[in-house]
Structure 1
């Protein structure tokens, strides 16, 4: 499927207000090192761009997307792309509702690598339980393109994936991508039995100081 952005309005929320219904969505970004996964995650979460170092293990960010009377709380897992971390990556994407397979449109080998990640995912997930999106990043470098737009679309169509090209640097199509993902997840998974679960903020714990109490008096005593 190619993504369609003619959808109902969606509002991104960065406040910590309490919505009527908040549903947890685990989203994982997979792909080779240097394709811009961390930059995309930062755009999703804070709508900003900055140079980042290679991710070690996994990084975690959040973002809220409002859909009518419900709010989706995206828990964004940005995985390391280096080969030495490959064996532990399944620990992070297991149970994900959304998987983004990210490649760099200027580096063909990253497109090939995205297909390897897809094969790994297909061993782990139950059809219908995960929305998988193929994302060609670095659209701002289209003059150095090695992977034609049509090739990305063709792969997505043949494997039943959604597809979008983005630019984490300029922000092009990043907000629209998150909006489209939110709709697809809510439509495909949200209503299923055992689908999205409700997120509740952990209550704060108030620590009380008691000047008159000696915490050690009941078990120990020092001195005569």
Structure 2
């Protein structure tokens, strides 16, 4: 239907913004790399913000996922609100071998989502990473599931190293986004404009009043 496609460049039906959030070192960059490509290797910590684009077809729809990754440390100041703004899906990542990263999901990350996320129906997945290190596990699967159920989040455990459940996580998230009419409504050209504005860290990137501290 009346697509605002410009020539053949518009090779997707919807564009979704997905965030990876969680403490530094929980494996967000490795998860992203594992999903984008077939390679996983040790990565140096992300400085500020990085994003990758993945085109895929799910449920007959061609989708463009722009997946944002941070260093997991609160050193962004004015970036925080623009980072969260307009996201369709949020993956809250913790490391199953480090209990404090699980505790911080609630103490830090869930609070940020509440504070800054503008799409209140955006889909959230709680993701326990590093299940390949089962002998070092400090957080049980049951604890993760209980926390997710309490907050009406979806839940998965995965390993960026072995790639177990990595594709599944992004696929599940995308399918859930496709079920929410309000998210589909803004999964379009507006997202492209936001990405350009956010990349420049332009405080004027949205009309939502005082977004910057």
Quote the residue 1:169 is aligned against. Answer: 161
Retained in 2: the 8 A contact 1:79–1:89? no
Quote the residue 2:207 is aligned against. Answer: none
Pick which of 96-105 and 66-75 moved more.
Answer: 66-75
Give me the TM-score of the superposition, normalised by structure 1: 0.74
Pick closer, same or farther for the CA change 1:140–1:17 going to 2, 3 Å: farther
Select 1:34's aligned residue among 2, 9, 25. Answer: 25
User: Match of 2:68, SS?
Assistant: strand
Pick closer, same or farther for the CA change 1:164–1:86 going to 2, 3 Å: farther
Name the structure with the higher helix share.
2
Partners of 1:103 and 1:110 in 2: CA distance: 5
Find out whether 1:25 has 2:16 as its counterpart.
yes
Retained in 2: the 8 A contact 1:65–1:182? no
Pick which of 58-67 and 119-128 moved more.
Answer: 119-128
Partners of 2:143 and 2:125 in 1: CA distance: 15
Pick closer, same or farther for the CA change 1:44–1:110 going to 2, 3 Å: same
Partners of 2:112 and 2:50 in 1: CA distance: 20
Please show how residues 39-188 of structure 1 align to structure 2 within 5 Å: 39-85=30-76, 88-115=79-106, 116-125=108-117, 128-188=120-180
**Cα RMSD after superposing both structures:** 2.5
Pick closer, same or farther for the CA change 1:149–1:87 going to 2, 3 Å: farther
Partners of 2:77 and 2:21 in 1: CA distance: 10
Retained in 2: the 8 A contact 1:108–1:146? yes
Shift of 1:158: 0.4
Structure 2 gap ranges (5+): 1-7, 193-213
Q: Which has the higher Rg, Structure 1 or Structure 2?
A: 1
Shift of 1:84: 3.1
Partners of 1:157 and 1:43 in 2: CA distance: 27
Pick which of 76-85 and 158-167 moved more.
Answer: 76-85
- Paired residues, number: 184
Retained in 1: the 8 A contact 2:145–2:155? yes
Give me the TM-score of the superposition, normalised by structure 2: 0.78
